[in-house]
Structures are given as structure tokens and as C-alpha cells.
Structure 1
């Protein structure tokens, strides 16, 4: 199902701020932006822009990506934290959205723990767990899977024709 035409962003990225994670999300947002997607990411907010208004815009995004690590899982349950507020927006919007609207990126989360509200059948999951000594940026194959999902293309490329 295509996203509504009035969607503010092609993809909105929700994550918990932490040392190192901010940079990883910034790189992901920049790569998606360079591919051609409009990206909702708090790092693009200008001075004086409302964070609450920005968080509320996730419900009109074509897709929402939630970066789930231990920090996200802990802060999701801390009332009035930024993660908790975004989590409330996601829960309210999820019932009215098509399957595939929400994507989960597991990073530093090898057991692939999901938020309690996440039903795997409605969510596309991406494994971005970083191995010791690996580059900080998402792997090219994972990034391709994410952009295919953002473009409403099948992530499974088994039936795809190679470009010639």
C-alpha cells in the first residue's frame, strides 16, 4: 500500500540518543537522503524548532524506522523521555497504518529484542548488529534492503532481474 500523498517524510527515524548511536543514525539518515528520500531525523532540526511537533510528524511519514538497542528498550519505558513520547506516537498511529509502515533496526542487539508493542508480523526487521572492528556505517547490503523497503519494493531480491 502506498503512503498518503501528504506524508511529511519518506522515512522517519526514531532512536535513543547515546554516545556513538547519534553518529550511526546521522550516517544512515545522510545515506538515505543521498539516495533521494526525505528523512525525518532530529539531527536536521534547526535552532528553535519544536521537538514535540517534529515527533508528532512521524504519524504522517510513509515509513518509520525504529533503531532498537538496549538504550532504546530502557528509555521507552521512562515516561516523558523523548523515546517514550515517540513510542506513544508510534503506538497511536500503528493501528491505522498498513503492514510494512514500521521497520525495526536491531543494532548492538544480537538477541533481536523487540519493544513489547512490536508484533513481528506487522514489522520489517533489519539486522545492523555491528561486529567488533567493523565500520560504523550500515553495511551496503543492509542499506540496500532499507532503501528498497523505503521505496515500497520487495526486499527479497530472489526474483529480481540484475541491471544490464
Structure 2
């Protein structure tokens, strides 16, 4: 059965995918660009369609894990019962905003990977809303895990099956 893992940027989705292309899939929608200029209604249609794509792909059980973004609307669609897809396990992984040291390192990592312009445009609003987002996920019954100084990456807070190659520390 495919497990869907939603995670914030720079927590290790792409690294794990690169090590396990036969068993994992990194479903990236480039959402900051893909939804640019869309009305809330159009974004709703976009995330609905994206959730259908993910569910259909997950139904094949070809991949043990599908990595997706931490977009609330997408995950709400993924969690809804659907007439033609089966239920999938879903875990949300976010950085722990209360760990100041970790957040400083996390921000540095994001800027090194994606640049200051992207960080300012995309991540600052996301990070400012992180606590509210976490509460919404928890209120909606999502399995939420937090990365922090002692457990900075996905593989530190989520137990993958033994056949998944994890990055060396």
C-alpha cells in the first residue's frame, strides 16, 4: 500500500526519492508557480485535480511512498473519500517552529538550495503561517510529525520500510 508523505521544502523528500526512484515518487507541482495568478476558486480546482492524480498514482501500489507538498487544500482533498480510489495513509511533516536553533539552520538550508528571492517570496509567508497550519492539520486529524534540531529530516521522524535507502549521516 502506498503511503503519502507531505513535507515542507528542504526536509529530504527529493534526496530520498533520488536514492529510491523505483520505490518512491516525488510529486512536485511547483505550486508557487503553478497557482500564480489563480483565484481561490481556480486554486481549489487545481488542488482537486492534483489530488486525483496523486490518488490514481497511489492506487497502483507501484510506489511505496509518494512525496507531496504541505499545501493544506491538497491534503484536504486527498483525505476526502472518493468513489474511485482507495484510502491511503498520509503523514504530514513540518519543521518545528518552536525550535529557534533548528529554524535558523532550516532557513539557511532553504536559502542555499533555492535562493533568497524564492525564500522571501514563498517561504516567509509559509513560515509565518506555520503554527496555524500545524494546528489546522492536527484539528483535521492528520498524522503530524515535526522535525527539529535532534531530528532534522523526514527519515528522522518517519519510519520507512527496510527496503528504502536513506541518506547517510
Provide the TM-score with structure 2 as the length reference. Answer: 0.41
Higher relative contact order, chain-length normalized (CA < 8 Å, sep 6+):
2
